[in-house]
Chains A and B, each alone.
Chain A
Amino acid sequence: MPPLLDVRNLMTYFFTAGGLVKAVRGVDFTIETGETLALVGESGCGKSMTALSLLRLVPEPGRIVEGQIFFAGNDLLHVPDEEMRRVRGNQIAMIFQEPMTALNPVLRIGEQIAEVLRLHKGQSPAEALETAADLLHQVGIPSPKQRIREYPHQLSGGMRQRVVIAMALACDPRLLIADEPTTALDVTIQAQIMDLLRRLKSEREMATLLITHDLGVVAENADRVAIMYNGLILEYAPVRDIFNDPRHPYTSGLLACIPKLGEKRRRLTTVNGQGAGGNSPLSFLDRCPPEFAPRQGNLPGLRETAPGHLVRRWED
């Protein structure tokens, strides 16, 4: 069985007035049916652009310049626009960090969900509203029959994210892309939403690409993890290996610098560098151990150093 999603050598560049920005510089990963892959990295590492590339929704002046995205056997980069529109929503759905950006403020939430069902599933308006209420019930929204008549501003942040999840699930997607789904939410609500996503995933055998910077969320939700930095995956392994046996210094650096509840230490370990501002040169890789440091010449691929555990290092 080929994997549900197989991304090979994906490159997404931005052709800006100020010059070329290589947001995604050659990314490879796979996701199996029912699996959660976490794409982890700091801001600007290219994780969100990788996700938008999968849906062919890269904003101008960005362009996918190379690579293949096999989804259920078809290369999405070669399907016609019309078919791609059916893939979005029907096959691959996406939820975002700020649910308000995904909701129309002047439409009742029932209508917004019903619209998806009418367009993608050909349901009648009455039927679609019924299904919408049922979906709201499934994502844990109380009294859904009343809620479908409300507007987004009448809901709390957590409830809005539930509505967006209900909308994403409307067409039974096989892959859900969740881009920082709980970053804007408070911690008790975050726990409820992640619990909901885990439940839906197991009920529906849905694969998830979880984009996040929160290593706690990763540890509790991912099956496998890809650590991204500056447009590249540096380490790619099952979740236990990433946390218990990190093999790239950037991964160990990230793990070391987070304060952990109940483990009071005198000082936090830090990663070198003060972060790259905008399009400035690498801040971390400059100072990392020589075998991992970037060199002139060919970009090395990810190499398997243990079963299923891939690390990118530069060879002599």
Chain B
Amino acid sequence: MEALLEVRDLSKAFRSGGGLPGAPQRRLQAVDRVSFTLFQGETLGLVGESGCGKSTAGRLILRLLEADGGQVLFRGRDLLKLSSRDMRPLRRDLQMIFQDPYSSLNPRMKIGDIVGEPLLIHGLAKRRELREDVTALLERVGLGAEHYDRYPHEFSGGQRQRVGIARALAVRPSLIIADEPVSALDLSIQAQVVNLLQDLQQEFGLTYLFIAHDLSVIEHISDRVAVMYLGRIVELAPAEALYHAPRHPYSEALLNAVPVPDPDRPRNRPFVKGEVPSAFDPPPGCHFHPRCPYAQDICGRERPAFVDQGNGHFAACHFSDQVGKFRTF
């Protein structure tokens, strides 16, 4: 398999406070030396709880935010080193779908113009043919010619997300970063949009970085899954291996916590105590150690290395061979 995108040691810190005299400035390491590879045509799921840095990582890759360090190699070129002029033609190749289909569409623009604008900007369509091209795109995502002249407020959440998908698709990208694309949608609509994304991937050979907090959706759509906790990737594995044999205690905790829609299955008891610590002041060593039932002295002192445990199953845990003891099913 060919690597389309290689992310190496990507890092980003935010600073807050310090505005008032005497107020201390605090530093928040949102993304902490994150590395992964995206192979051509695959879906990599990036999962974690709110504030873990998964969306920031997505934005850094597209340079919607500037990284502090690391490399983002797209077809071998480091995106982080490009000037904004050199970056512009590449933006066609790298598209994004956002979580909130209500705020990511301009309320004063017609649907046809929203989808058509990127085609004009990148010189991919002539004005005369634009209507035809856009209509074909709308039809491909399950909308129709009758929607061309309507405004976003006339659409349901699911339909708006289809518009967002058509807009991303318009410029024939090779990589789409989808940031929580279905989490604002109702169940029955979620399934439709997930299926649509999978169909489009087949048809256009797309590669997805799929960012979400819903483990069931992530497991369903992803070939491989990366789990983030407090700015770091703690585990990365093929989706089925992660589900059946997690090698990091945090992944195990997440899997245990998901309520299962089967009343005959024994109920999962939460085994992880406490809450995610503040990202301003993360615990030393392994960030998860204060909540971890496997933790020993070393976990509070040394950051565990992110190592291949075999068959492309990476985990950053000093005791990853023990993980699985608390699995509730």
Contact = CB atoms under 8 A, between A and B. Distances in A.
Interface string B145-163: 0000000001111110000
Interface in B111-145: 142
A277 B49 contact: no
Contacts of B158: 274-275
A36 to B, nearest CB: 12
A191 B254 CA distance: 10
B195 interface: yes
Interface stretch (A8-16, A82-90, A167-175, A262-270): A262-270
**Interface of B (DSSP majority class):** helix
A239 B220 CA distance: 25
B109 interface: no
A34 interface: no
Contacts of B263: 219-220, 239-240, 243-244
Given A188-B270, A264-B239, A275-B157, A43 B261 contact: no
A192 B187 contact: no
Interface in B279-295: none
Contacts of A258: 187, 191, 216, 261
Nearest to A42: B186
Interface residues of B, number: 49
A158 B260 contact: no
A299 interface: no
B259 A186 contact: no
A92 interface: no
Interface stretch (A103-111, A126-134, A208-216): A208-216
Interface in B207-260: 213, 215-217, 219-220, 239-240, 243-244, 253-260
A253 interface: yes
B240 A264 contact: yes
B201 interface: no
B159 A188 contact: no
B270 A191 contact: yes
Contacts of A243: 261-264
B133 to A, nearest CB: 23
Contacts of B215: 187, 261
A277 B219 CA distance: 29
Contacts of B265: 219
B322 interface: no
B268 interface: yes
Interface string A232-258: 000000011001100000000111011
A213 B159 contact: no
A216 B142 contact: no
A185 to B, nearest CB: 9
A259 B216 contact: yes
Interface in A258-299: 258-262, 264-265, 267-271, 273-277, 284
Interface of A: 42-43, 156, 158-159, 186-192, 194-195, 213-220, 239-240, 243-244, 253-255, 257-262, 264-265, 267-271, 273-277, 284
Across the A-B interface, give the 10 residue pairs with the lowest CB-CB distance, nearest first.
Answer: A216-B259, A259-B220, A257-B191, A186-B49, A277-B156, A191-B257, A42-B186, A191-B270, A268-B191, A271-B188
Given A244-B264, A275-B189, 17 more contacts: A42-B188, A156-B276, A186-B276, A187-B254, A188-B254, A188-B272, A189-B275, A239-B263, A243-B264, A258-B187, A259-B194, A261-B243, A269-B191, A274-B192, A275-B156, A277-B154, A277-B159
9 contacts: A42-B187, A156-B276, A194-B259, A213-B186, A216-B261, A257-B190, A261-B219, A264-B239, A274-B159
